[in-house]
Amino acid sequence: MKYWQEELETMPRKKLKELQNERLVWQVKRMYENVELFRQRMDEKGLKPEDIKGVDDLHKLPFSYKKDLRDYYPYGLFAVPMKDIRRVHASSGTTGKQIVVGYTDGDLDRWANCFARMLVAVGADENDFVHVGYGLGLFTGGFGAHDGAVKLGATAIPISAGNTQRQIQTMIDFGSTVLCCTPSYAMYLGETINEQGLKDQLKLKAGVFGAEPWTEEMRHQIEEKLGLKAYDIYGLSEIMGPGVSCECEYQCGMHVWEDHFIPEIIDPDTGEVLPEGEQGELVFTTITKEGFPLIRYRTRDICSLNYAPCKCGRTHVRMNKPQGRTDDMLIIRGVNVFPSQIEEVLLKVGGDVTPNYQIIVDRENNTDTFLVNVEMSEEMFSDGIKKIEAIEKTITENLRSTLGIAPKVRLVNPKSIERSEGKAKRVIDKRKLK
Ligand code: DLL
């Protein structure tokens, strides 16, 4: 197996740390020489590259932020001349202008490598057909998965996102065995395939789903609907794209490829590094990236790290599913609300409702209004509407006890909430639009 990089993936932690030390020292030195903003921030702290001798000195280094990418848009933070940048990608996010990231030949190779490791971890090899349903374009999802599949030696099917009917037909005709797309789109594909009675014609065995938060309950539903094993993959454009971390066959956290990225968990308010196992903001340092490296990048994703050995033999630390983002967090009537908490409640309600929901927050008479629209299932819709009130009440009560505040819950008709081919749009915060 070509991309089971055993020596790197199961490297004893002491040796891994030595490798990180060496790479961090190299990265800090070249960034100090080539990236003006980094040099300025080091100077402000009175730090010289030679003060950084390894990972134990990481906490001394300055943080970097998404705002930096906007301020130095488009290429101001690149560490190599543009002639060495082979490809750019961009991410628009929900606020502000897009950010741009760049890759050298070496970066593209390492990225493909990280994704190929993921494919190996989910049991794929050169005999597999990898259905790339992430958007192929400036979004990193499509090209990341595509290059990973090619690197592995599998057969890539670069269909990109959208056109559900064509996705399904292609999966059946081309014999797709590994599906890569967002979990919300996988749910939608699953719903449509089951409605059309086509599940038996699929050959899918594994799904590589990420780019947005999703819950364990959603995993079970996707697995059931598509007849595959669903794996979580995490990444962000600023650090590389998909494949910064991913699950192995034991599905108990996502291994961060620590030979390329050093993760830390910090208190988002004070910036202090938190003790092992505590939940906080995830921060990454890229130690092999050439084109667009980042030191101590504040991801805004909230999670924790687990350094305990994994049954799979990989020694690289595991991060748990991000619980949301510090900037995804809604503050409604003073209470912190994460969309993923709502999804978890809905999935526990069972068959009468689906996890397709939309949160609408507004402000009337100086008070926040909080509405959750939830699609009822087809069965419930055809059974008649007698249960609606009771179910709305149950969901409201469950949300009240989970969140500490009660939204107005409204059951809406099946398929009435717009589907996304990429990341689902769960929140409409009208307070920001005014
Ligand atoms: O979403 C890269 C990606 C593509 C990852 C395909 C996985 C699969 P961005 O568009 O820059 O990059 O968005 C990055 O998405 O900071 C997280 O908030 C969120 N995110 C990504 N993967 C997961 C995941 C891609 N597995 C932002 N679980 C990140 C939860 C995720 N959130």
State pLDDT tens for residues 384-397. 666 888 899 999 99
Q: How remote is the CA of residue 139 from the centroid of ligand 1, in Å? A: 11
State in Å: Cα 159 to ligand 1 middle: 20
DSSP class of 322: P
Instruction: Compute φ and ψ for 48, nearest 5 degrees.
Output: -115, 155
Cβ 234 vs Cβ 246: under 8 Å: yes
Residue 74: cis peptide before it, omega within 30 degrees of 0 = yes
Half-sphere exposure of 81 (CA within 13 A, CB side): 1
Distance 415 CA to ligand 1 centre (A): 25
Query: If you take atom 27 of ligand 1, which residue's CA is the nearest one?
Result: 236
Test site for ligand 1: of 98, 140, 180, most ligand atoms within 8 A of the Cβ = 140
How far out from the chain centre does Cα 362 lie? Answer: 28
Tell me what pLDDT residue 3 has: 63
CA of 397 to the centre of ligand 1 (A): 31
For 357-387, the pLDDT digits (tens) are 999 999 888 888 999 999 998 877 777 666 8
Nearest atom (ligand 1) to Cα of 299: 16
Mutate to test the pocket of ligand 1, among 236, 240, 299 (most ligand atoms within 8 A of CB): 236
pLDDT tens, residue by residue, 271-280: 999 999 999 9
Q: Are strands 129-132 and 353-364 parallel, antiparallel or unpaired?
A: unpaired
Q: Above 60 in pLDDT, residue 1? A: no
* Domain definitions of the chain by residue range: 1-327, 330-433
| SS3 category, 277 | coil
**50, pLDDT greater than 80:** yes
The answer to whether the beta carbons of residues 430 and 362 sit under 8 Å apart is yes
Q: Which amino acid is at 176?
A: S
Question: Looking at the predicted structure, is the pLDDT value of residue 2 above 70?
Answer: no
Phi, psi of 160 (to 5 degrees): 70, -175
The residue-averaged pLDDT of 90-116 equals 88
The residue assigned the tokens 């543009």 is 82
The strand pairing partners of 156, in sequence order, are: 130
Which parts of 240-386 are beta strand (E)?
Answer: 241-247, 254-256, 261-266, 280-286, 297-303, 305-306, 318-319, 330-332, 335-337, 353-364, 367-376
Mean pLDDT of the chain: 93
Question: What is the rounded CA–CA span in Å between residue 102 and residue 391?
Answer: 49
Q: Which of 299, 338, 339, 337 is nearest to 319 (CA)?
A: 299
Q: Encoding tokens for residue 34?
A: 């080539």
* Of residues 337 and 319, more confidently modeled: 319
Residue located nearest, by CA, to atom 30 of ligand 1: 213
pLDDT of the residue at 231: 98
* Per-residue model confidence as pLDDT tens digits over 165-176: 999 999 999 999
244 CA closest ligand 1 atom index: 5
Residue 101 has pLDDT above 80, yes or no: yes
Supply the pLDDT for residue 25: 98
Amino acid identity at 99: I
State residue 379's pLDDT score: 79
Atom of ligand 1 nearest to the CA of 322: 30
Centroid of ligand 1 to alpha carbon of 255 (angstroms):
15
Query: Which residue has the least CA distance to atom 15 on ligand 1?
Result: 211
What's the CA-to-centroid distance between 211 and ligand 1, angstroms?
Answer: 3
Nearest to 304 by CA among 261, 265, 270, 262: 265
Is 164 in contact with 179 (CB distance < 8 Å)?
A: no
Instruction: Locate all alpha helices (DSSP H) within 181-295, ordered by sequence.
Output: 183-195, 216-226
pLDDT at 151: 96
Q: What are the φ and ψ backbone dihedral angles of 9, each rounded to 5 degrees?
A: -75, -25
Distance of CA 269 to the CA centre of its chain: 23
Alpha-carbon span 285 to 301, nearest angstrom: 14
Which atom of ligand 1 is nearest the CA belonging to 232?
26
| Cβ–Cβ under 8 Å, residues 206 and 118 | no
- The SS3 call for residue 131 is strand
Instruction: Determine the distance separating the centroid of ligand 1 and the alpha carbon of 212, expressed in angstroms.
Output: 5
- CATH homologous superfamily for 1-327? ANL, N-terminal domain (3.40.50.12780)
Q: Pick from 65, 234, 251 the residue to mutate for probing ligand 1's pocket: most ligand atoms within 8 Å of its CB.
A: 234
Q: pLDDT grade, residue 324 (50/70/90)?
A: confident
| Residue 378 Cα to ligand 1 middle (Å) | 30
CA of 156 to the centre of ligand 1 (A): 21
Separation between Cα atoms, residue 65 and residue 308, nearest integer Å: 29
Are 376 and 390 contacting, i.e. CB atoms less than 8 angstroms apart?
no
Q: Can you tell me which residue has the tokens 């290429």? A: 75
Q: How far, in Å, is the centroid of ligand 1 from the Cα of 140?
A: 9
Q: Is 62's pLDDT higher than 80? A: yes
Closest CA to 231 of 241, 312, 214: 214
Task: Return d(Cα 73, Cα 173) in angstroms, integer.
Answer: 43
Atom of ligand 1 nearest to the CA of 241: 2
Contacts of 329 (CB under 8 A, 6+ apart): 336, 337, 338
pLDDT score of 137: 93
pLDDT of residue 74: 96
The H or E element that residue 91 is part of is strand 87-91
**Banded model confidence at residue 233, pLDDT cuts 50, 70, 90:** very high
Shortest-distance Cα residue to atom 31 of ligand 1: 212
> Would you say residue 343 has pLDDT above 90?
no
For ligand 1, atom 4, which residue shows the shortest CA distance? Answer: 141
Q: Ligand 1 — pocket residues by CB below 6 A?
A: 91, 134, 140-141, 210-213, 232-237, 241-242, 299, 301, 321-322, 325
Q: How far is the CA of 332 from the centre of ligand 1 (A)?
A: 25
Q: Can you give the pLDDT at residue 198?
A: 98
Percentage of the chain lying above the pLDDT 70 cut: 97
**In CATH, 330-433 is 3.30.1490.190:** no
pLDDT value at position 420?
82
Which residues of 165-217 form beta strands (DSSP E)? 178-181, 206-210
Structure tokens at 110: 């390492």
Percent residues over pLDDT 90 in the chain: 76
